[in-house]
Amino acid sequence: MKLQRHGTIACLALATALAVSACGSDNNEPTEASASGSPAAADCATGTINAQGSSAQKNAVDEWRKAYQQMCAGSTINYEPSGSGAGIQAFIAGTADFAGSDSALKEEEQPQADAKCVGGKAIHLPMVIGPVAVVYNVSGLDNLQLKPATLAKIFAGKVTKWDAAEIKADNPGATLPSTTIQTVHRSDESGTTDNFTDFLGKTAEADWTFGKGKAWKAPGGTGAAKSDGVASAVKQADGSISYVEMSYAENGGLKMAKIGNGAGEFAALTAESAAKTIGGAQVTGQGDDLKMSIDFNTKEAGAYPIVLVTYEIVCSKGLAADKLALVKGFLSYAASTEGQADLTELGYAPLPETVRTKVEATVKTLA
């Protein structure tokens, strides 16, 4: 379901300077767009490809699949939102043509993934930028705001009541209930967990001692599978708090906390505030590998600091001959101005234009 958030979307579109134009086609005949405003042409190919991984990007991939398959008769793109960890393992095992992951391959995973790519290597293509919401369900409590240190103490089990002194200090004047805090975390290996724990470790090092990783390591709390499971668990339990992508928070009608940033402000999560953090992201990979780094301690005024990048992990060379054209065609659409513009109504943020053009150019070189 598309979400209409016209005010913030307009700001985000300006912030990222994305122009909507028709994407080009090399050797394929263009297929006319539908009346919904889809692009007029695509690099169409036929066949079937199978991918899996990040549940954070499920809504984005579903939108791209629908658009591409409508434009390109005879194409089938299957995507299973199995979680980032499962997607990477499927790619390594050869059962996924590409994998979606909210974090880069681990050092030990890179050579295993490279082994699938005859004559090439596994590369990271940033395709979706997903703000991570801190969602909560506490009767009578609205406009919650939390410093990173307070958030770390909550998920570390050091702050256990909603009227704890740390939460009171972050919310002066608010009436806080004595309800017991119920933390909810991902039970499956998740790139969202990897990014959330990375944020806690880099912004509240003294209070978060469990490191970063796809698997949740802190004691206590309730585990829920995948992003939709987390959103459902929070919606059903009074006193609960968790982390989930903005698109799932909005679809579930969940309250989202303001989070303290490096400028000393409490920033609400909007498309505009997420874009301010995205603007400082840097490409740190080498050559065609486009791994990115986000500054969780951003001092940009008004910036919402918890933002993740979802990568499509794909072979630079060595793709199966019967899959190559369709993988390139589909990922080309995802990286196009049209594909990225689709994201703004789904609770995601489009790639900065400087990054988008690099991704688009790299997709064209896949072999």
Token representation of residue 310: 């979802």
Q: How far is CA 19 from the centre of its chain?
A: 22
Token representation of residue 228: 């939709």
Task: Please report, in range form, the residues annotated as the binding site.
Answer: 54-56, 84, 102, 190-192
Task: Please report, in range form, the residues annotated as the binding site for phosphate.
Answer: 54-56, 84, 102, 190-192
Task: Note whether 149 and 207 are within 8 A (CB).
Answer: yes
Query: What does the alpha-carbon distance between residue 270 and residue 268 come to, in Å, rounded to a whole number?
Result: 6
Instruction: Determine how many CB atoms are found less than 10 A away from the CB of residue 302.
Output: 15
Task: Note whether 275 and 15 are within 8 A (CB).
Answer: yes
Query: What does the alpha-carbon distance between residue 59 and residue 266 come to, in Å, rounded to a whole number?
Result: 28
Q: Which residues contact 42 (CB under 8 A, 6 or more apart)?
A: 23, 25, 28, 30, 31, 68, 71, 72, 329, 332, 333
Tell me which DSSP letter residue 345 carries.
G
Q: How far is CA 202 from the centre of its chain?
A: 19
- DSSP secondary structure, 232-290, as one string: HHHHH-TTEEEEEEHHHHHHTT-EE-EEE-TTS-EE---HHHHHHHHTT-EE-S-TT--
Task: Note whether 332 and 363 are within 8 A (CB).
Answer: yes
Q: Residue type at 289? A: D
